[in-house]
Amino acid sequence: MKKIALVTGGTSGIGLATVEALHRKGYIVVFTSSKSQVAGEQIASQDREALRYLQCDVTNKDQISSVKDTLVEHYGRLDVLINNAGYTEVVPHSNFEGATDELWMKIFTTNVMGTWWMSTLFHDLLKAEAGSIVNITSIAGLRPIGSSIPYSVSKAALNQMTRLLAASMDNVRVNAVAPGLIDTPWTESWDQLRENVRRVAPLHRSGTPEDVAQVVVSVAEAAYLTGEVIAVDGGLTLKV
C-alpha cells in the first residue's frame, strides 16, 4: 500500500518542492494552501492518482478537520505530515511600532497555532502508522536575525514545539528543518540579503526549494531521528 503524505502550503516554494520530492518517492501526496486553489488544482492535475489538492487555511480549525475527514475517507491513514505553511512581513527589528499586535497575532496564529492544530489533530493517524512530522522553521529561530521580530520568535517557538512534541508523542517522530535564505516568491525582492549570503556563507549562494525538500524527505524517513532541528542554510549560521 502506498504511503500518504500531507503538506501544508504546497502550492509554492519549499512546500511545492517537497510535494514534488515526495511524489517522486512514490507517496500519495495531499497538499493544501489557503488561497491559491487554481495553482493547486493545476499541480494536482499532473497525476490525479497520487496528488490531491485541498483548500485549507491552517488558521481555520474547521478547514483542518475537513482535510482530516477527506484523508480518512479516501486513504484511511497518514504517514508523513509536513507543516510548511507560514507567514511573515518585513519589519526592521528596531521599528517597534511596525511590529503591531495584529502582525504578532497573524504570524503566531499561522506559524505556531497552525502547526499545533495540524500536529495534534493528525496525531492519532500518524501514531497508527508510526509516522513522522517535519516542521519547516527557520534559522531566524536559531539566531537573532529574520524578517521581523514576531516571525523570528514564532520560529524559535516552533523549534521548541518540535522538541516538546517529539518528547510527548510516542512512536511519532517529530523534527524540524530550519532553512536559511531560499529562493522562493517569499524572498524574491530580498536581493541585498542574497548578496550578503553569497559573500558570507561557506557555500556562497542562497538555497533552492529543492535543496530544502531533499533534506525534508530524508528527515521524514529517518527511522531513528526525533526531536532534532536541522539547519539547511549553506553554513550561514556558522557565520552569523
Residues that bind ligand NAP (CB under 6 A): 8-15, 32-36, 57-59, 84-87, 110, 136, 138, 179, 181-182, 184-187
Q: Which is nearer to ligand NAP, 2 or 80 (CB)?
A: 80
3-state helix, strand, coil in the chain (%, to 5): 45, 15, 40
Q: Which is nearer to ligand NAP, 15 or 150 (CB)?
A: 15
Q: What radius of gyration do the chain's Cα atoms show?
A: 17
Q: Is 161 helix (H, G, I), strand (E, B) or coil?
A: helix
Give me the least distance between CB of 230 and ligand NAP, in Å please. Answer: 13
The alpha carbon of residue 140 and the mean position of all alpha carbons in its chain are separated, in whole angstroms, by 14
Q: Which is nearer to ligand NAP, 118 or 128 (CB)?
A: 118
Interstrand relation of 28-33 and 51-55 (parallel, antiparallel or unpaired): parallel
Q: Is 122 helix (H, G, I), strand (E, B) or coil?
A: coil
Choosing from 27, 75, 151, 224, which is the catalytic residue?
151
Identity at 65, one-letter amino acid code: S
For 162, which DSSP code? H
Cα separation, 136 vs 178, whole angstroms: 6
Active site residue 75: no
The alpha carbon of residue 61 and the mean position of all alpha carbons in its chain are separated, in whole angstroms, by 18
Give me the least distance between CB of 102 and ligand NAP, in Å please. Answer: 15
Give me the least distance between CB of 65 and ligand NAP, in Å please. Answer: 14
Q: Which is nearer to ligand NAP, 97 or 192 (CB)?
A: 192
Give me the least distance between CB of 177 and ligand NAP, in Å please. Answer: 9
CA-based nearest residue to 88, from 139, 148, 141: 148
Cα separation, 33 vs 57, whole angstroms: 6
Q: Which is nearer to ligand NAP, 136 or 165 (CB)?
A: 136
Give me the least distance between CB of 170 and ligand NAP, in Å please. Answer: 27
> Which are the catalytic amino acids?
151
